[in-house]
């Protein structure tokens, strides 16, 4: 196991005006499962490849266990990488695929057999050791790719979107297998994905990237509950956070926000931090699960009524999504309600926003206004 430290890590390809990764600083603790999350092209895979030694570093440093490895070849960094494509040798059996890297290191045959048997047992691959990759399912191939990494007992595991080629059901089961294996092994792991569900369920912490830069780092629920800006607010969550245009008003010693034809109290923010935004436009955010069909609902601590028109009803079985048109809003909002909704398409409805859960963002910069401590 190892601590991985990135200091001002950057990558610029020749001829490109913008860097693919810009001044990325991040420390992954010993045994931690860190997820690099972001949209396609944000630089997360490039960062992973620089850590692996597969991509030259333009500036900054990568250190593993206190040793700067910028000039160390990939094969000598004591890391193991699992790719999206599995990268299995099609002419070799599962056993041979698992053993290949160990044989190249000239490890004794008895030790190779021991490690292969142990990895196969951990991953349930025992019955498939004499099969070739074409005779395996996608999930089994992914387990072989993981096993090939496990047998090496590396200091760090690197995963580059390993589940993206699997169907939805297989992705869930394989994701659970990966979580279990990482917990059992306790190996420092860096996992790249664009799937926010994977990030929320797998990571000890997540590092959200956009346009080559780190936007926010934190535990998944902390980032979900307190996004640093509107990009994180919309990227993390399914459906994403609703963002509405409003105006912040001073209300005596307190503040309120005018939004969607209603005046909502603003609580939990430092008055001094809100003062510069008084009587100015503000971006108001609220999660779909914080919009209710009735104000008398468990968990709704500060119900505030707004009028809406139901643009669509989307029953999903365990829950129903209401797509809402609100007064003065260019974009529709989504509410996540119970299994069955009392509303139908086209209804005029009164919905309740939990004012205690409102998020406020600077409309110019997109940055979140911080909540009061405690």
Q: CATH number for the domain including 200?
A: 3.40.50.300
1 band by pLDDT with thresholds 50, 70 and 90: low
The domain boundary, picked from 231, 260, 287, lies at 231
Last residue of a domain, one of 197, 231, 265: 231
185 with 163, same domain: the answer is yes
Residue range 304-308: mean pLDDT, rounded = 90
Q: Which one, of 218, 231, 337, lies nearest residue 288 by Cα?
A: 337
* Distance between CA atoms of residues 326 and 323, nearest Å: 10
Q: Same domain, yes or no, for 120 and 248? A: no
Same-domain status, 95 and 142: yes
Strand pairing category for 242-251 and 213-218: unpaired
16 pLDDT above the threshold of 80:
no
Question: In the chain, where does DSSP find H-type helix?
Answer: 44-52, 94-104, 109-123, 138-150, 168-185, 196-202, 220-225, 230-235, 271-274
Residue 227 has pLDDT above 80, yes or no: yes
| Cβ within 8 Å of residue 117, ≥6 positions away | none
Gyration radius from the chain CA atoms: 25
User: Where do the DSSP E strands lie in 276-369?
Assistant: 280-286, 291-292, 303-315, 320-326, 333-337, 348-354, 359-361
Residue 199, in any domain of the structure: yes
Residue with the two structure tokens 């290191």: 105
The answer to whether residues 105 and 217 belong to one domain is yes
- Whether 370 maps to a domain, the answer reads no
* SS3 per residue for 121-148: HHHCCHHHCCCCHHHCCHHHHHHHHHHH
Bridging pattern class, strands 156-160 and 188-193: parallel
Query: Of 276, 269, 285, 182, nearest to 232 (Cα)?
Result: 285
Residues 6+ apart with CB under 8 A from 30: 1, 2, 3, 188
Paired strand residues for 263: 258
Looking at the chain, the whole-number percentage of residues with pLDDT higher than 90 is: 60
Q: What is the pLDDT of residue 173?
A: 79
Is the pLDDT confidence value at 374 over 70? no
Distance CA 55, CA 37 (A): 19
Say which residue, 17 or 106, is predicted with more confidence: 106
* Predicted local distance difference test score (pLDDT) of residue 105: 84
Question: Is 282 inside any structural domain?
Answer: yes
Residue 280's DSSP bridge partners are 248
pLDDT digits (tens, 9 = 90+) for 124-167: 899 999 999 999 988 788 889 888 888 888 899 999 988 887 77
| Token pair in block for residue 93 | 């059996």
What pLDDT digit, counting tens, does each position of 153-203 carry?
889 999 998 888 777 777 887 788 788 878 888 899 999 999 988 999 999
Q: Lowest-confidence range among 75-79, 119-123, 309-313?
A: 119-123
The lowest-confidence range among 42-46, 229-233, 242-246, 340-344 is 340-344
pLDDT in the model for residue 157: 92
The pLDDT, as a whole number, for residue 87 is: 80
Same domain, 190 and 326: no
Question: How large is the average pLDDT for residues 210-235?
Answer: 96
CA-nearest of 183, 186, 144 to 162 is: 144
Cβ count within 10 A of residue 340: 8
Mean pLDDT for the stretch of residues 198-213: 95
For position 259, what pLDDT does the model report? 92
Alpha-carbon distances of 180 from 165, 168, 241, 333, rounded to whole Å: 20, 19, 30, 37
Tell me if the bond preceding 239 is cis, omega within 30° of 0: yes
d(CA 341, CA 34): 38
Cβ-contact 322, 374 below 8 angstroms = no
Same domain, 41 and 62: yes
CA–CA separation, 82 and 225 (whole Å) = 31
> How many domains, the chain?
2
What is the longest distance spanned by two Cα atoms in the chain?
A: 79
pLDDT in tens, 249-282: 987 778 899 998 889 888 888 878 888 888 999 9
Interacting residues of 237 by C-beta distance below 8 A, sequence separation 6+? 196, 224, 287, 288
Note whether residue 126 is domain-resident. yes
Domain-terminating residue out of 177, 200, 231: 231
pLDDT of residue 169: 78
d(CA 8, CA 26): 9
Would 180 be classed as within a structural domain? Answer: yes
Residue 342 is part of a domain; what is its CATH number? 2.40.50.140
* CA proximity to 312, closest of 352, 341, 353: 341
Average pLDDT, the chain: 90
Same domain, 67 and 213: yes
Range of the domain at 220: 4-231
**∠ CA 6-171-336, rounded to 5°:** 90
């Amino acid at each position: 196991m190892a601590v991985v430290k990135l200091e001002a890590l950057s990558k610029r390809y020749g001829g490109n005006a913008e860097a693919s990764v810009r001044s990325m600083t991040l420390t992954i603790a010993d045994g931690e499962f860190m997820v690099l999350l972001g949209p396609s092209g944000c630089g997360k895979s490039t960062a992973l490849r620089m850590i692996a030694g597969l991509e030259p570093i333009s500036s900054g440093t990568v250190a593993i266990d206190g040793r700067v490895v910028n000039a160390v070849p990939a094969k000598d960094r004591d890391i193991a990488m699992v790719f999206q494509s599995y990268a299995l040798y099609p002419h070799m059996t599962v056993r041979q695929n698992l053993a290949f890297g160990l044989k190249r290191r000239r490890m004794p045959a008895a030790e190779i057999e021991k490690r292969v048997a142990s990895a196969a047992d951990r991953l349930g691959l025992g019955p498939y050791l004499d099969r070739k990759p074409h005779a395996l399912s996608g999930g089994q191939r992914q387990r072989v790719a993981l096993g090939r990494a496990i047998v090496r007992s590396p200091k760090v595991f690197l995963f580059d979107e390993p589940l993206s080629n699997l169907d939805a059901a297989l992705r869930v089961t394989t994701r659970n297998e990966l979580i279990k294996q990482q917990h059992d092994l306790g190996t420092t792991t860096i996992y790249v994905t664009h799937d926010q569900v994977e990030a929320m369920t797998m990571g000890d912490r997540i590092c959200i990237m956009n346009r080559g830069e780190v936007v926010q780092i934190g535990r998944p629920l902390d980032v979900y509950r307190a996004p640093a800006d509107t990009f994180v607010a919309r990227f993390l969550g399914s459906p994403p956070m609703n963002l509405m245009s409003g105006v912040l008003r001073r209300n005596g010693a307190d503040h309120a926000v005018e939004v969607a034809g209603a005046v909502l109290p603003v609580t939990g923010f430092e008055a001094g931090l809100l003062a510069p935004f008084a009587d100015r436009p503000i971006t108001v955010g609220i999660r779909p699960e914080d919009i209710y069909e009735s104000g008398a609902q468990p968990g709704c601590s500060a119900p505030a009524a707004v009028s809406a028109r139901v643009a669509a009803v989307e029953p999903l079985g365990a829950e129903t999504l209401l797509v809402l048109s609100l007064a003065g809003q260019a974009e529709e909002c989504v509410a996540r309600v119970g299994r069955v909704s009392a509303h139908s398409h086209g209804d005029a409805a009164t919905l309740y926003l939990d004012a205690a859960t409102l998020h406020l963002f600077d409309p110019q910069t997109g940055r979140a206004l911080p909540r009061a401590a405690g």
